[in-house]
Amino acid sequence: MGRHAQSGRVGGDGVVDVADGTVRRPYGWGRLSAFGLTVAAITCVIDQAAKFWLVDIFDLASRGAVAVAPFFDLVLTWNTGISYGLLQQQGAAGQWALLAFKAVVVVFLWVWLARASSRLTAAALGLIIGGAVGNAIDRLHWPGVMDSVLFHIETAGWSFRWYVFNLADVAIVAGVVGLLYDSLRGGGAVKAP
């Protein structure tokens, strides 16, 4: 056991060194880590439940494109790359490389979460982590990340189609927006590792 574990007492933010009164936080856990982990878990479960429902119960593959609204369709696509279909990988080595990259990013985000000082930063990082893990799970049991939401605008002389995405992507974007907002208002998001 280390000196601080032997001579310290656990405080709200970590181990307090009795000798000098300083707080030494565990590297991988902070006061808002449980909250961020809860947000991440809920995000991942909702994403996976929606995907399994669309594939196994709703059977989106056999239905083709399903119009939900004049500007919103459900379609089934498999993204073998990263966001917006970049870096498409068809082979197993490429898919494992993307999973490894995603694991490194999640570890970095987790360390950031362990140092988060605001609930908004912790929630935002939880959304990003949960979305990233949800998309990573897809790569383990499907041919790629399952995307199913298509927004589009069509008029007589003009047509616009956004990239097909999923709930995990929405969570990641919402998390990034939360981090940007928190950093602009002077919150804890600026304290990245």
DSSP states of 109-157: HHHHHHT--SHHHHHHHHHHHHHHHHHHHHHHHSSSEEEEEEEEEE-SS
> Who contacts 138 (Cβ-Cβ below 8 Å, separation ≥6)?
51, 144, 145, 146
d(CA 63, CA 177): 34
Instruction: Give bridge partners of residue 146 from the DSSP assignment.
Output: 78
**Known catalytic residue: 59?**
no
Catalytic residue among 47, 73, 138, 147: 147
| Segments of the chain assigned E as strands | 8-11, 14-17, 23-24, 66-69, 72-79, 145-154, 159-161
Catalytic residue among 47, 73, 138, 169: 169
**Known catalytic residue: 47?**
no
DSSP 165: B
Residues designated catalytic:
147, 169
